[in-house]
């Protein structure tokens, strides 16, 4: 099926049918005997046997827990598997408050390379770290102030964000499906249902043990090869971890409900297959902007226990992020995070915020980096606010590439792993033996 065939077919449908065709939870099949007509099959029908078995297991788990919020999520998600209506269980997931933190169901749309509409099934079983979660919850209390100061035309800012949503720090003990292939997920921000986001915000799950493993085994070795000796001193895990927290928080900021030619729509619907890379770049760069803003106002915002406010801290944040850029770029341009990072890297290189030395190492120009962050953030946020597919396409074509000089730098990293592969030892020990 081509994009043009799909769009022509969708254009012939009633509004409700169009929503089903573009929705997260349907499979598109060709009508028997037709070359240009299709049908939208609900996941609950397409995957009925697997989902019926999964629903039974979730209800069995619900009966085994004394935690009311976990029981409610398990039961409502079991219902959703059979009804194809995930709204109530997404709301229950937002209210989940349990030592065992569970995410299961169809969520991310990265694997739909046609439009970015269709969600893939995944599961994570995590253990909460309440002390760390409470520490970073402080950052979430200032999201409205960040929104009010985003480097974008004031008309595009949201004057009233949804209810504050939690940032949960966890250690992962198991993942599967879309959560356990390719690049190991370090954090996720869900749900994607805009109705739930508008009412309850979104929840950020930070997989701290996964992030520590990535930092030690991948990022530090890369930094030693790619940065100058002076810059290398500034690379640290707290800066790496804090920016990932900020990245996830920033998915909830910026344009979500927009108007295009008088239509109520969303950036995801307008930017189609380009959305994921633009949104990942936006979350990255807005995260840097937000942390810079909070560092500058740390005392007035009572954030000194979470964020140091001196010049060295900002330099360490930027330098650690530079090292992390190389890590993400090695994932390749087929990955939304990798393409989004290429946009950022090339933009900052072009603005002399990142400098490549004659020996192949890199360093920052602090003042130009700060301004470059603001300028790129403005461009990305404006593209989303205007639902400008043409501008998104132009940006990705020009900057979402690996240039020869960068590819040459990658040749120095061939013996360093691209990523980690978590092995769920505890989960394997607990799993029933068949």
Segments making up each domain of the chain, as ranges: 1-42, 99-430
Residue with tokens 């996830």: 248
Give the span between the Cα atoms of 338 and 343, in whole angstroms.
9
What is the b/e burial string over 72-83, where b = at least 16 CB atoms within 10 angstroms of the residue's CB? Answer: bbbbbbbbbbee
Residue with tokens 């609950």: 44
Q: Which two tokens stand for residue 68?
A: 């009311």
Closest CA to 219 of 113, 323, 374: 323
Q: How many CB atoms lie within 10 A of CB 53?
A: 11
Residue numbers in the chain where pLDDT is lower than 50: none
Q: Note the residue count of the chain.
A: 434
Asked whether the beta carbons of 197 and 256 are under 8 A apart, the reply is yes
Task: Please tell me the predicted confidence (pLDDT) of residue 78.
Answer: 98
Classified as helix, coil or strand, 163 is coil
Asked whether the beta carbons of 149 and 179 are under 8 A apart, the reply is no
Task: Please tell me the predicted confidence (pLDDT) of residue 38.
Answer: 96
Asked whether the beta carbons of 37 and 31 are under 8 A apart, the reply is yes
- The phi and psi torsions of 374 (rounded to 5 degrees) equal -60, -45
Task: Please tell me the predicted confidence (pLDDT) of residue 165.
Answer: 64
pTM exceeds 0.75, yes or no: yes
In sequence order, which residues have a C-beta less than 8 Å from that of residue 261 and are 6 or more positions away?
Answer: none
Q: Is beta strand 258-260 parallel, antiparallel or unpaired with respect to 263-265?
A: antiparallel
Q: Which two tokens stand for residue 381?
A: 């946020």
Task: Please tell me the predicted confidence (pLDDT) of residue 162.
Answer: 66
- Cα-Cα-Cα-Cα torsion 13, 17, 20, 22, nearest 10 degrees, comes to 20
Asked whether the beta carbons of 126 and 102 are under 8 A apart, the reply is yes
What is the b/e burial string over 365-374, where b = at least 16 CB atoms within 10 angstroms of the residue's CB? Answer: beebbbebbe
- The DSSP line for 34-75 is -SS-EEEEEHHHHTHHHHHHHHHHHHHHHTT---HHHHHHHH
Helix ranges (H only) for 187-274 are 194-200, 208-214, 220-226, 229-232, 237-250, 267-271
Task: Please tell me the predicted confidence (pLDDT) of residue 163.
Answer: 61
Q: Which two tokens stand for residue 349?
A: 């290189």
Give the span between the Cα atoms of 166 and 365, in whole angstroms.
35
Task: Please tell me the predicted confidence (pLDDT) of residue 333.
Answer: 86
- pLDDT tens digits along 9-51: 999 999 999 999 999 999 999 999 988 899 999 999 999 999 9
Task: Please tell me the predicted confidence (pLDDT) of residue 280.
Answer: 94
Task: Please tell me the predicted confidence (pLDDT) of residue 378.
Answer: 97
Closest CA to 281 of 230, 190, 347: 347
Give the span between the Cα atoms of 238 and 374, in whole angstroms.
23
The DSSP element (H or E) to which 321 belongs, if any, is helix 311-329
Task: Please tell me the predicted confidence (pLDDT) of residue 164.
Answer: 59
Give the span between the Cα atoms of 210 and 422, in whole angstroms.
8
Q: Is beta strand 38-42 parallel, antiparallel or unpaired with respect to 26-30?
A: antiparallel
- Respond yes or no on whether the N-terminal peptide bond of residue 191 is cis (omega within 30° of 0): yes
In sequence order, which residues have a C-beta less than 8 Å from that of residue 52 and are 6 or more positions away?
Answer: 81, 82
Task: Please tell me the predicted confidence (pLDDT) of residue 295.
Answer: 92
| Angstrom distances, CA of residue 133 to CA of 81, 103, 171, 262, 329 | 30, 17, 11, 41, 29
Q: Which two tokens stand for residue 245?
A: 């927290």
254's torsion region: left (phi>0), alpha (psi -120 to 50) or beta?
left
């Amino acid at each position: 099926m081509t994009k043009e065939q799909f769009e022509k077919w969708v254009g012939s449908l009633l509004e409700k049918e169009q929503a089903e065709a573009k929705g997260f939870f349907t499979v598109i099949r060709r009508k028997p005997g037709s070359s240009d007509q299709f049908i939208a099959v609900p996941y609950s029908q397409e995957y009925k046997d697997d989902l019926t078995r999964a629903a039974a297991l979730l209800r069995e788990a619900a009966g085994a827990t004394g935690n009311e919020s976990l029981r409610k999520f398990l039961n409502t998600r079991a219902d959703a598997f059979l009804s194809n209506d995930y709204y109530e269980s997404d709301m229950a997931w937002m209210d989940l408050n349990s030592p065992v933190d569970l995410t299961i169901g169809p969520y991310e749309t990265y694997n739909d390379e046609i439009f970015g509409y269709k969600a893939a099934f995944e599961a994570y079983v995590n253990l909460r770290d309440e002390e760390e979660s409470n520490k970073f919850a402080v950052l979430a209390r200032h999201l409205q102030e960040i929104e009010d100061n985003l480097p974008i035309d004031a008309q595009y800012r949201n004057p009233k964000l949804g209810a504050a949503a939690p940032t949960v720090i966890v250690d992962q003990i198991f993942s599967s499906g879309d959560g356990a292939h390719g690049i190991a997920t370090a954090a996720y921000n869900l749900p994607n249902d805009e109705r739930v986001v508008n009412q309850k915000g979104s929840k950020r799950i930070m997989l701290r043990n996964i992030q520590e493993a990535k930092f030690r085994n991948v990022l530090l070795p890369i930094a030693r090869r790619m940065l100058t000796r002076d810059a290398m001193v500034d690379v640290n895990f707290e800066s790496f971890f804090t920016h990932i927290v900020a990245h996830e928080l920033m998915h909830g900021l910026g344009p979500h409900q927009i108007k295009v030619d008088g239509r109520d729509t969303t950036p995801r619907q307008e930017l189609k297959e380009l959305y994921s890379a633009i949104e990942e770049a936006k979350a990255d760069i807005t995260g840097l902007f937000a942390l810079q803003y909070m560092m500058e106002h740390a005392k007035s915002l009572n954030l000194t226990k979470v964020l140091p406010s001196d010049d060295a801290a900002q330099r360490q944040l930027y330098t650690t992020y530079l090292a992390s850029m190389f890590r993400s770029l090695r994932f390749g341009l087929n990955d939304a995070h990798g393409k989004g990072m290429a946009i950022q890297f090339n933009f900052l290189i072009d603005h002399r915020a990142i400098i490549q030395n004659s020996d192949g190492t890199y360093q920052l120009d602090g003042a130009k980096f700060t301004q470059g962050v603001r300028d790129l953030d403005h461009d990305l946020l404006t593209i989303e606010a205007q639902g400008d597919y043409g501008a998104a396409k132009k940006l990705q074509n020009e900057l979402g590439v690996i240039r020869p000089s960068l590819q040459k730098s990658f040749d120095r990293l061939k013996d360093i792993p691209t990523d980690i592969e978590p092995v769920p030892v505890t989960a394997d020990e607990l799993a029933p033996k068949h």
